[in-house]
């Protein structure tokens, strides 16, 4: 049985669809979850989809992914720019992490230009709205297929 892709979401992402739609769009987090599940299923994978406003909970899920996931898609929200704890968890787990964002942080306020999460991640996909998640699912699947123990995957 292939391991799932964890899709972890940080603070305020539970407000998608109504929070600053000019930046984040009108797609809700449950709609993103459904799209991710459908794309993963097309690739022969399952997802574990979670959201928390609590940094420590995200760290715990990353540590859980060490044994349970083939890869992680992580939208850490505002924690991307501030969390040494998430950075350190990513470097500790040995599972590929794809950082993703709906908007393009590099095109926004200067304080968003540096991502501590991105510095630890395998790669970053940002700026494509909800499609960023689908691209990240695809990347996670491809990377996991190349990992020892995953074999050819689906």
| Residues identified as active-site | 24, 101
**What are residue 69's phi and psi, to 5 degrees?**
-115, 155
- According to DSSP, residue 31 is labeled H
Q: Do residues 10 and 79 lie in contact, with contact meaning Cβ atoms separated by under 8 Å?
A: yes
**What are residue 16's phi and psi, to 5 degrees?**
-55, 145
Residue whose pair of structure tokens reads 């540096």 in the numeric block? 114
Q: Do residues 29 and 14 lie in contact, with contact meaning Cβ atoms separated by under 8 Å?
A: yes
Taking each helix axis from N to C end, the angle separating 29-42 and 131-146, rounded to the nearest 10 degrees, works out to 40
Best CA proximity match to 1, nearest among 50, 62, 46, 65? 46
How far is Cα 51 from Cα 146, in angstroms, rounded to an integer? 27
């Amino acid at each position: 049985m292939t391991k799932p892709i964890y899709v972890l979401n940080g603070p305020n992402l539970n407000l998608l669809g109504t929070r600053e739609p000019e930046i984040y769009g009108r797609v809700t987090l449950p709609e993103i979850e459904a799209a991710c599940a459908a794309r993963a299923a097309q690739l022969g994978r399952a997802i574990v989809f979670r959201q928390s406003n609590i940094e420590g909970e995200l760290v715990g899920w990353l540590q859980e992914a060490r044994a349970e996931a083939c890869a992680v898609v992580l939208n850490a929200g505002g924690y991307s720019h501030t969390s040494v704890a998430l950075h350190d968890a990513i470097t500790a787990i040995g599972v590929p992490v794809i950082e993703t964002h709906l908007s393009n942080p590099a095109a926004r306020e200067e304080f968003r230009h540096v991502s501590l999460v991105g510095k630890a991640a395998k790669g970053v996909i940002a700026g494509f709205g909800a499609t960023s998640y689908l691209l990240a699912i695809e990347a996670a699947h491809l990377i996991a297929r190349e990992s020892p123990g995953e074999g050819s995957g689906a």
